[in-house]
Amino acid sequence: MSKPFIDVAAGLILQEDGSLLLAERPGDKPWPGWWELPGGKIEAGETVLQALARELKEELDIVVTTATPWVTYVHEYPKNIVRLAFCRVTQWQGSPTGIEGQRLAWVNPHAPLDVGPLLPATQPPLRWLQLPDRYLVTAIGSQQGLAGFLEQLSAALKAGVRLVQFREPAWAEQACEDEVHEGFLAVLRCCHEFGARCLLNSVHPQAWQAQADGVHWRARDAAAQAAAISAPGAGPDQPAAKTDTTLPVEAPLPDAHLQSHKLVGVSAHTAQDLAAARSLNADFAVLGHVLETPSHPNQPGMGWNAFATLAQASGLPVFAIGGQSQTTLASARQHGAHGIAGMRGLLAAG
């Protein structure tokens, strides 16, 4: 017997200081006493944002004035399957009040929570919320460009960039491995000086990954990894592949907070690439290119509408890449992006 399938809109109500509103489920509802993100069922004829605005008015007596789509995620409970369209709510009118008698709490999602237990489907978005909204990709090119790049990187890190990817295929082709490795270590040290994390692109030797704060898989490498996981005879320590691209299932939570575990990012251009990212239990994907960019001359971008369609079905946080800068962050969020990724545009932000 198949389980009921329910579509839900859920809001991450965020104050300017980053604190997040959680609500305790009332005693007359399933899972009483568990804490969750406010929201409710999407009714026939409603868009996600319409349903969210109605539910938050009914539950909290607030009027949503600014909300953007984020991650749509499927969780299977013992009695039903819920597809949760998570949205970020950053402006509203009124003061949140527990209209149904539920307790409310403002929490810091970057620290251990002082309320709980959390509903299982509430745990992944709190983990994802810890990801920075800007992801800088290096473009050093050679040993001669390293000193100047480190100056620019320091400025960008001072300006708030907290996630960096070391990706230097051209440099790796023209120089010895030791020289590029020293460049990677210099970038890593610079990131750590400012409390930022540095991921290593899979174009570089696997042996370097232990020194990085995580790995960023190229699309082709992610596909190969996902295929290896799903192949007959795959090792027992490898996670099972997820092959349903229309119904992404949640990844297991790490034992520690996002800040203390190795991150996994994946480059994606298609729905198949995003499916591979889910198979690898990636923390996020980078999707594009969206707009025209010097790194892809004479190649039109996919545009925001195509990006939004793929992001909505991704099941994990997605960074927009291609022609991105601080000026495009708002547009990216309006189309479902977690944030933006790029080389020149984000480096210039410093």
Low pLDDT (below 70) residues in the chain: 1, 233-260, 348-350
pTM recorded for the entire structure: 0.90
Q: Which residues contact 50 (CB under 8 A, 6 or more apart)?
A: none
Which of 254, 252, 248 minimizes the C-alpha distance to 318?
A: 248
Domain ranges of the chain: 5-116, 134-347
**Is there a contact between 187 and 164 (Cβ–Cβ < 8 Å)?**
yes
The DSSP line for 66-101 is EEEEEEEEEEE-SS-EEEEEEEEEEEEES----TTS
Contact 169, 209 (CB under 8 A): no
Give the CA count within 13 Å in the CB-facing half-sphere of 142: 3
CB-based burial of residue 158 (10 Å sphere; 0-12 exposed, 13-18 middle, 19+ buried)? exposed
Contact 200, 180 (CB under 8 A): no
Q: What is the DSSP letter of 160?
A: T
Return the pLDDT at 234: 57
User: Rg for the chain (alpha carbons), in Å?
Assistant: 21
d(CA 101, CA 109): 24
Cross-strand bridge partners of residue 23: 36, 104
Burial string for 35-53 (b: 16+ CB within 10 Å, else e) reads bbbbbbebeeebebbebbb
Would you state the pLDDT for residue 297?
Answer: 78
Domain spanning 5-116: which CATH class is it, in words?
alpha beta
Taking only the tens place, the pLDDT of each residue in 148-188 is 999 999 999 999 999 999 999 999 999 999 999 999 999 99
Tokens of 132: 């920075």
The pLDDT assigned to 249 comes to: 38
Q: Tell me, what's the pLDDT at 1? A: 63
pLDDT at 28: 83
180: left (phi over 0), alpha (psi -120 to 50) or beta: alpha
Main-chain dihedrals φ then ψ at residue 158, nearest 5 degrees? -65, -30
DSSP string, 2-22: PPPEEEEEEEEEB-TTS-EEE
| C-alpha to C-alpha distance for 281 and 338, rounded to whole angstroms | 17
**Rounded Cα distance, 245 and 298, in Å:** 30
| CATH code, 134-347 | 3.20.20.70
